[in-house]
Structure 1
């Protein structure tokens, strides 16, 4: 499964990227039998060619952009008719854009919105929660 982390420059993005690399390398397998192929780490400031390749080849998207515009992500997925599942981070300010995109393109949107105090939870525990979504894909 090819994974795109949009907002890879965030704290959660760094943690998720590290765990996905460990899963891919066989160092970490505590969340089940998930095979990771390519890992794309992007954000709104990434090079257009990098975003284009990621959006063309992603099988699952983690959107952790924390309020940065997600227009480039939506545009890239749309250009490539990529209807892979997208997990929205709880603070993504562009949820309405993704809901509209999902409805018009039949894209499964998952929302990661835990019911506990985020400040009290470690980054590692938050990443475990997000990785659980890969098992649903």
Structure 2
């Protein structure tokens, strides 16, 4: 992004406009998180594949072993699903940067705030909408 494009991103009243350096820092953090998530998912999916193949028919396993394996498999599925959601958030944030809509609340359309985005680059909601969502 050029300086003009970085400065065109919305900010909360009273915040300085985005600088190219600040935006580059956010993009670098998102890319780092993306790489970590992809590596994590590759490893977790391989482990999960092993758990699924090992589930077998229960021959030679007592009920406690089968229960522990089932619990572990369910836990791994939850972890993989959560990481996939995180990766989708990262990719959505990068897409919003590319389209110049980064920093706009997906719920109310108001600015999210540069400080919030620098602390949590995947944020898609302003603080007011996020608090409302968490109360539900």
| The structure with more strand, counted as a fraction of residues | 1
TM-score (norm 1): 0.30
Quick one: higher RCO (CA 8 Å, sep 6+), 1 or 2? 2
Q: If you compute each CA radius of gyration, which structure gives the higher value, 1 or 2?
A: 2
| The structure with more helix, counted as a fraction of residues | 2
TM-score (norm 2): 0.30
